[in-house]
Amino acid sequence: MRFRSSGFGDTRELVGRMADLSPVGKDLLVFHIQTTDPVEWHLRAGMQFSDIPDVLKGMLLNLPVLFMIIRTIFFLKKKPKEPEEF
């Protein structure tokens, strides 16, 4: 996973991986992300359960995103090529 930050000056990109996904409380889904480059941080992002249908609609009704998901499921590469800029 790649993240953007405006607080790093010229190095605005964090590289990391999803470490955990868990429900918290009654209405929160928390993503735990472990960054590896340029710093080792533990990030957390929360999404309310009421947001999940909108996220799914955004993924399934946007054809380029849907094709990317399908392609990823069937043609998963062990060492994917990183794009220069996103």
pLDDT at residue 14 above 90?
no
For the chain, what is the domain count? Answer: 2
> Domain limits at 35?
1-47
Would you say 65 and 59 are in contact if contact means Cβ atoms under 8 Å apart?
yes
Pair 4, 31 in one domain = yes
| Same-domain pairing of 16 and 57 | no
pLDDT category of residue 10 using cuts at 50, 70 and 90: confident
d(Cα 13, Cα 2) in Å, to the nearest integer? Answer: 7
Beta bridge partners of 16: 35
Q: What is the pLDDT of residues 39-84, one digit of tens each?
A: 899 999 999 989 989 988 988 889 998 888 888 888 776 666 666 6
Q: Are residues 56 and 42 in the same domain?
A: no
In a domain, 24, yes or no: yes
17 assigned to some structural domain: yes
Backbone φ and ψ of 14, nearest 5°: -105, 140
Residues 9 and 40 in one domain: yes
